[in-house]
Amino acid sequence: MINIRKILSIKVIAVILFSNALLFFLINKLNHSISQYSLYFFLNGIYLIFAATNIRLKTGLFCSFITGLFLDSMFPYSFGLSTVCFIPLHFLLYKNRYKLHRDQNWHITLLAFAINLLLIAILFFSNSNGHLFELPYFIHCTTDLVISQILLILIAPWFFDFQRSTMQWVGVDLSIDDLSNT
């Protein structure tokens, strides 16, 4: 029984990390292409939703932790910002996940929308480098925020479906109590 749970956990971790990495590189590619317009998509909020709302605590937490470290290594802000934000948010989502309609994409998409908004706000204040009260900084951040949130609404349902389908494909049934409970 323990072995089956272990195997399932490894599969879940692999699917979550793989899908997060895939989305990250796709968004990176997109950002690379639109750099000439000085626009930027920031979608870090999307990565922890599935792990926090569908997976049991330890496994999901591990996924959020690794994803946070991965994002921290990729961005030049102080190392640990994503990880330190992800862990409390993961707990918060985990504790309230039974109040959510996890099977309905629009519900968790809205959640991703809110989390992403929060993360951009944190970045806005923590990484301003003394430009916080300058108009160009505000305009640039607002532009990036708007386009990021629009893109998030467009791709989040696909991304959550992709994660769900991949879980099914590798033989993980998310409805099993063994996996979804602590």
Partner 1 sequence: MTNKSFDKVKPYLLLAIFLLLWRVIPAGVKLFVDNSFYEFQAPVLNLGNHLDDIKKYWALRKSNNPDEIKKGIENSRISASFEVIEHQLKEHEDLLEKIAQLEKQLKLPPFKTHRYEHARVVHRDINAWWQRITIRKGRDYNIPENAAVIFEGGVVGKTKIVNKSSTIIELITSPNFRMAAKFKGDPRPVTFRGSINTGFTDPRGNVKDVPSDILATMTSPQFLVSSELGSIFPEDLPIGYVRGLEPGSNGLFKTGTVELDKRLLYLKEVSILIPIEK
Distance CA 135, CA 89 (A): 30
Residue 122, both tokens: 């944190």
Between 137 and 162, whose beta carbon lies closer to partner 1? 137
Q: How far is the CB of 35 from partner 1 (least distance, A)?
A: 4
Q: How far is the CB of 45 from partner 1 (least distance, A)?
A: 16
Asked if residues 43 and 148 have their Cβ atoms less than 8 Å apart, the reply is: yes
Between 102 and 164, whose beta carbon lies closer to partner 1? 102
Helix, strand, or coil here: 47?
A: coil
Tell me the C-alpha to C-alpha distance, in Å, between residue 154 and each of 37, 72, 111, 171, 172.
Answer: 21, 25, 14, 27, 26
Asked if residues 50 and 163 have their Cβ atoms less than 8 Å apart, the reply is: yes
Q: How far is the CB of 164 from partner 1 (least distance, A)?
A: 24
Residue 42 phi/psi, 5-degree rounding, is -120, 110
Q: How far is the CB of 118 from partner 1 (least distance, A)?
A: 16
Between 83 and 105, whose beta carbon lies closer to partner 1? 83
Between 145 and 156, whose beta carbon lies closer to partner 1? 145
Q: How far is the CB of 172 from partner 1 (least distance, A)?
A: 23
Q: How far is the CB of 116 from partner 1 (least distance, A)?
A: 15
Residues engaged in binding partner 1 (CB under 8 A): 21, 25, 28-29, 31-32, 35-40, 42, 57, 61, 69-70, 72-77, 79-80, 83-84, 87-88, 91, 94-95, 123, 127, 129, 131, 134, 136-137, 139-141, 143-144, 182
Between 49 and 144, whose beta carbon lies closer to partner 1? 144
For 52-100, give the DSSP string: HHHS-HHHHHHHHHHHHHHHHHHSSSPTTHHHHHHHHHHHHHHHTGGGS
Scored b (16 or more CB within 10 A) or e, 119-134 reads bbebbbeeeeeeeeee
Between 135 and 171, whose beta carbon lies closer to partner 1? 135
